[in-house]
Amino acid sequence: MIQNFFSGLYELFLGRPIPANFTNDYREVVFPNTGLMLFIITLSIVIIYYYVLNRAMSTGLYKPKHWVMFLILNAIIAFIIPVMQVTGNEIETHSYTYMFAFVNVIYSLILFFVFSILLKRGSVQAWTTPMKWPNKK
């Protein structure tokens, strides 16, 4: 199920894996691994940003440009993971691999934004980062 979910998520934009002889490796290993890691890492970075750096430690990294820095950091990780997954599983790299990494970056941006919106209320210094909405005060 989880394999189908992530395969569907990536193949929606990418189409069938290329080269086709590694279809199983993508569907059973690379897509689920990448998807799960994307989810966990993005969540961790958001928690670190709002709850560790801007609540527990009060580091002063509450400005939107700091938030963007962490967004980009997450995006870079989201680009590296798929490439590592593909090469680590001895799959031939192909332009498909980089398209896949690119799609993962897009998902990382969306997910980082969504987690931020959901979690920023709990932050002391950064609850209006990147913007005030939807919190009211």
Footprint on this chain of another protein (rule: CB under 8 A): 1-3, 16, 19-25, 28-29, 32-33, 36-37, 39, 43, 47, 51, 88-90, 118-119, 121-122, 124, 135, 137
- The residue among 43 and 99 lying less far from another protein, judged by its C-beta, is 43
- The residue among 25 and 59 lying less far from another protein, judged by its C-beta, is 25
Distance (Å, whole) CA 79 – CA 51: 25
- The residue among 1 and 12 lying less far from another protein, judged by its C-beta, is 1
For residue 8, which of 76, 17, 75, 43 has the smallest C-alpha distance? Answer: 17
Q: What is the DSSP letter of 42?
A: H
- Determine whether 133 is exposed, middle or buried from the number of CB atoms within 10 Å of its CB (0-12, 13-18, 19+): exposed
**Per-residue burial over 92-130, b = 16 or more CB atoms within 10 Å of its CB, e = otherwise:** eeeebbebbbebbbebbeebbeebbeebbeebebbbebb
Q: Give min distance, CB of 131 to another protein, in A.
A: 17
- The residue among 25 and 61 lying less far from another protein, judged by its C-beta, is 25
Q: Give min distance, CB of 47 to another protein, in A.
A: 8
Q: Give min distance, CB of 86 to another protein, in A.
A: 11
Q: Give min distance, CB of 119 to another protein, in A.
A: 6
